[in-house]
Structure formats: structure tokens, C-alpha cells
Amino acid sequence: MPLFYQHNINQGTKLGIWHIEEPESFFLEKVPLKRDVSHPFKRLQHLAGRYLLSFLFPDFPLEDIRIADTRKPFLESEKYHFSISHCGQYAAAIISSNSRVGVDIELITPRIEMVAHKFLSEEESQFFNEDYTRFLEQWGLRGRVYQEFLTLIWSSKEALFKWYGRGELDFKKHMQLEGAINIDGDLMKLPFVFAKDREIHLNIEARTFEEQRLALAWLRTAPSKNST
């Protein structure tokens, strides 16, 4: 069974990663294909993501999934809130019965350094380009890969984008890292301020899978009471 990773966050929220090794026919036996996805591999990713939803929660109503104008999939009944992400041979999904969620999975590659200017704010860019060595020493992260942290920032902002679900976000202006990254074993917490219509302070959870060079970020918490 190619379930690569599962994290049962609480009774109503589950997160998983599926390593896609099966042929399309395996998923079509279990997943209704409603979207017209012509590219064979993208169709396989699409099917795997939806299969993972039903794997995590067997009563998930796949046939009721709708697509918003912003391309966000949703259930009109809001029985579950969910988010799906695809990356290479992997599909990730998070589902919650009680709060909005967002998830993103990315391959860690050198290309992230070439596109960092598209999503790092001026403050974030200064931090990574000028204060990175001090950052490693201050938080005891010497030996961590620079590309890993850039990818985590990108993945966190993608998860925030999906959590918000309404589109029209500036990745530099509306989503910014605002403090130290807290590391607890394999898990990390990244404090972000989301400032679209008002400031909302949120902790994004993340982890990396070093052998597969994967970064995973997810958001499942409601805004804190201190949000303004």
C-alpha cells in the first residue's frame, strides 16, 4: 500500500500523502472522474488526490465535490473542509470536519532559489539573503539546507492561499513570516501574519522528508483570539 505518510491531527482532522504507483484503472474503480483532464499524468494525480480523501475518511462524498470560480474544490454541505496538493509522484490531502484547511506539497530543488523573488517579501528576502547564517546559529539549525527553508516558505504560502480559498492574494504583501520557526522533532511551526482585509496571525505546520526531498505544509487552525 503506497500510503507514504499519515498524520491524524485530531478526531476530526487527518492529513496524508499518497505515493502514486498504481495505474489509472486502480483509482477509476473507486473515484468518479468528473473533470476533463486530458494529460494522462495530471489525470492520475487528480484521481490519486481524490482517492486519498476517501482513504482518510471512508464516508467522504466524492461525488458531491464542486469547483469554485477560484478553482478551489469544496462540498456545498460543508460536511468536510478539505484541500489537495500534487507534486510529482505524490498527492497530499488534509480533511477537517470542523475548520477550514489548506495543504501544499513541493519537491525541494535548486529552482526555488531562482523564483524566490516572486514570493518573498522585502523583509523575508533580507532575512534569507543577509541574515541566514545568523538564523542558523540562533536557532541551532546549522546544517539545514537553504533550499529547504525557501521551499517551506513557498509551501506555507500556498497552503495559506488554499485555506483562504477566495483568490486574489499577493504572496509578498498579504502573507508574511513574522517570527522564529519552532522545530519540535520532525514537525515545524511557522508563524505567519495574513493581511488581506485584516491581520490574522496563524501558525502553519510543516515537515520535510529528506530522502524524498519533499516539503509539506498545512494549515488547520482557526484565527487566534488575538487577531485584529
The tens digit of pLDDT for each residue in 71-115 reads 889 999 989 999 999 999 999 999 999 899 999 999 999 898 889
Give the pLDDT of residue 129. Answer: 66
Give the pLDDT of residue 139. Answer: 61
140 and 71 inside one domain: no
* Rounded CA separation 61/69 (Å): 21
Give the pLDDT of residue 179. Answer: 81
Tell whether 193 is covered by a domain.
yes
| CATH code of the domain containing 173 | 3.90.470
* Rounded CA separation 59/169 (Å): 33
Give the pLDDT of residue 228. Answer: 36
| CATH code of the domain containing 50 | 3.90.470.20
130 and 207 inside one domain: yes
Of the candidates 153, 162, 142, which has an alpha carbon nearest to the alpha carbon of residue 108?
A: 153
124 and 213 inside one domain: yes
Give the pLDDT of residue 147. Answer: 84
Give the pLDDT of residue 136. Answer: 63
Among the candidates 75, 98, 121, a domain finishes at 98
115 and 139 inside one domain: yes
Give the pLDDT of residue 134. Answer: 67
State how far the alpha carbon of 222 is from the alpha carbons of 6, 102, 137, 180, 202, in Å.
Answer: 22, 12, 32, 20, 8
Tell whether 81 is covered by a domain.
yes
Give the pLDDT of residue 74. Answer: 93
Point out the residues of the chain with pLDDT beneath 70: 1, 34-35, 129-145, 221-228
Contacts of 58 (CB under 8 A, 6+ apart): none
Tell whether 225 is covered by a domain.
no
Tell whether 224 is covered by a domain.
no
52 and 109 inside one domain: no
* Rounded CA separation 188/93 (Å): 18
Give the pLDDT of residue 23. Answer: 94
Give the pLDDT of residue 210. Answer: 84
* Rounded CA separation 222/200 (Å): 10
User: Do the strands 214-219 and 187-195 form a parallel or antiparallel pair, or are they unpaired?
Assistant: unpaired
- Domain count for the chain: 2
69 and 127 inside one domain: no
* Rounded CA separation 87/143 (Å): 25
117 and 40 inside one domain: no
Tell whether 227 is covered by a domain.
no
114 and 208 inside one domain: yes
Q: Which three cell numbers stand for residue 72?
A: 478551489
Supply the range of the domain harboring residue 125.
105-219
Among the candidates 43, 78, 98, a domain finishes at 98
